[in-house]
Amino acid sequence: MKHILTIALISLLNSANAQQHQLQKLWETDSIVAIPESVLYTKDGMFVSLIDGAPWEADGKGGIAKIDADGKNYNGNWISGLNAPKGLGIYGNNLYAADMGDVVVIDIKKGAIAKKIAIPDANGLNDITVSDKGIVYVSDSRSGKIWKIENGNPQLFMDSVRGVNGLKAVGNNLLVAAGRSFISVNPQKQITKIAELPMGLDGIEPIGNGDYLTTAWNGFIYYVYADGRVETLLDTTKEKKNTADLGYDPVKKILYVPTFNAKTVAAYQLK
């Protein structure tokens, strides 16, 4: 009887420790996407930032592409003449792109650059996010700073954030990828650590149930529970495919992943 109970307990523990979430690949574009760094999902399709050159050079080769949520109707020339654009954010009719030392504001309806907001002494702008109040946050990975833009005016929000990369505004808080640390910052700039990840983080997307999806640029996608537990959902390092700043459809639970050097965008169903 004792032996039977022991076996039952082991089975129960193994079941509890088993991975609860998986990714099913839905589609992947051909290798025609010119070094995609970030995907921003919207109900009307997706925007993709294209570096199309060296990742930290102001070479004028970069741009923004548009693509349908099913991977079709790719337009790699929607916006051109940028440098090395990375993170994307949206508010109303404005698309925001982090481009070296500038935040580029794009009029979506016109498909044209409306203006550029220079960030003081910045040349390593990386991710960008916009709160539901229209406040823009942008990370400068080279200086370890996070900037806040209100009414077109940039001001320093946080300094000395080691390894700062991905950002996501959720309610009044700002989710931050700081190296391997995944943290939340409140309006008083108090920091709460959510989790420690195996690799340095890139993209962040809340799922809507208190949990999160995160990426590590070199080829990993993680599921992060609200209590800090971490599951590895995807490892594409053997395929030499990066997993940069992802987009996410919270209704259909589909991830859209830019593969950077592999020059594709791939879609995965979260299960």
Question: What is the percent of the chain with per-residue pLDDT over 70, rounded to a whole number?
Answer: 93
The pLDDT value given to residue 16: 44
Check whether 14 has a pLDDT greater than 90.
no
Which residue has tokens 């589609």? 27
Residue 74 has pLDDT above 90, yes or no: yes
pLDDT attached to residue 18: 63
Set out the domains of the chain in order of their start, with CATH numbers: 20-270 (2.120.10.30)
Label residue 161 by pLDDT band (50, 70, 90). very high
**pLDDT value at residue 19:** 78
Residue 58: count other Cβ atoms within 10 Å of its Cβ: 16
Tell me how far apart the terminal alpha carbons of the chain are, to the nearest angstrom.
37
Helices (H) and strands (E) in the chain, counts: 1, 24
Nearest partner of 167 among 142, 184, 152, 180, judged by Cα: 184
This prediction's pTM:
0.93
Ranges 5-19, 27-41, 119-133: which has the least confidence: 5-19
> Mean pLDDT, the chain, as a whole number?
94
Confidence of residue 9 (pLDDT cuts 50, 70, 90): very low
Inter-residue contact 89 to 76 (CB < 8 Å)? no
